[in-house]
Amino acid sequence: MVIAQIPSLEIKAIVGLGNPGPTYAKTRHNIGFLIVDALADAYNGSWQSKNNMETCSIVIHDKKIMLVKPMTFMNDSGKILPFLSKQGIKQENILVVHDELELPFGSIKFKFDGSAKGHNGLKSLMACGGSNFLRLRFGIDRPQNRDDVPDYVLAKFKESQNNIDDKINQAVLTITQYLS
C-alpha cells in the first residue's frame, strides 16, 4: 500500500458504508461496516444510535475520530452529511470505507475525489455534498455477468472467515498508518 500518493488530509470521521440489519450483516456490500466495527473494537469504542446512524468516538495517534455507520440503507448514505457538518466535519475531513467491484478480493486502495463508478452509497454521498472526500476502496471482485452485480454485492462472502478477518485487519492497519 503506497500511502504517499494520496493527499495528507485531516481525517475527523470515518464512514463505513453498508446496509442495516441481520440480513445484510456479512455481505460484500457491508465491508465498510465490518471495517469500522473492527476499528471500534481495536480502539475500545462503543456504538451509540443517533437519528439515522450509529456513531462511535475513538482516538488514533492522539487524534479523535468519529466512526459512522449510516442506518439509512446504502442508497441514502448521504443523509448523514448534515449531522457531520453540524459537528464541524467538512467533506474533505471524511474517509469513506466501501466495497469495490473493480478490485480483487481484499485489495485495498485509497482514492481522493472522482466518480462513484455506479456505487449507490457513493452516489448518495456525492449528491448530498460533492465528491471531495477520501475513500478506502476494499476489493470484493466482480461477477462475470454485469446483470449479476446487485445479487453479488448483497451475497455473503465466499472466502473463508479467517481470510476475511485477515483482510479486514489489514484495512484497519492501513487506515491507522494513514492517520499517523
86 closest CA partner among 35, 12, 175, 19: 12
The Cβ-side half-sphere exposure at 90, using a 13 Å CA radius, reads 4
**Three-class SS state of 127:** helix
CB 159 within 8 A of CB 127: no
If 0-12 CB within 10 Å is exposed, 13-18 middle and 19+ buried, where does residue 90 land?
A: middle
- The region, left, alpha or beta by phi > 0 then psi within -120 to 50, assigned to residue 48 is beta
Separation CA 23–CA 69 (nearest Å): 16
Q: Exactly one of 29, 61, 98, 119 is catalytic; name it.
A: 29
Told to judge if 29 belongs to the known catalytic residues of this protein, a careful annotator would answer yes
**Which residues are marked as active site?**
29
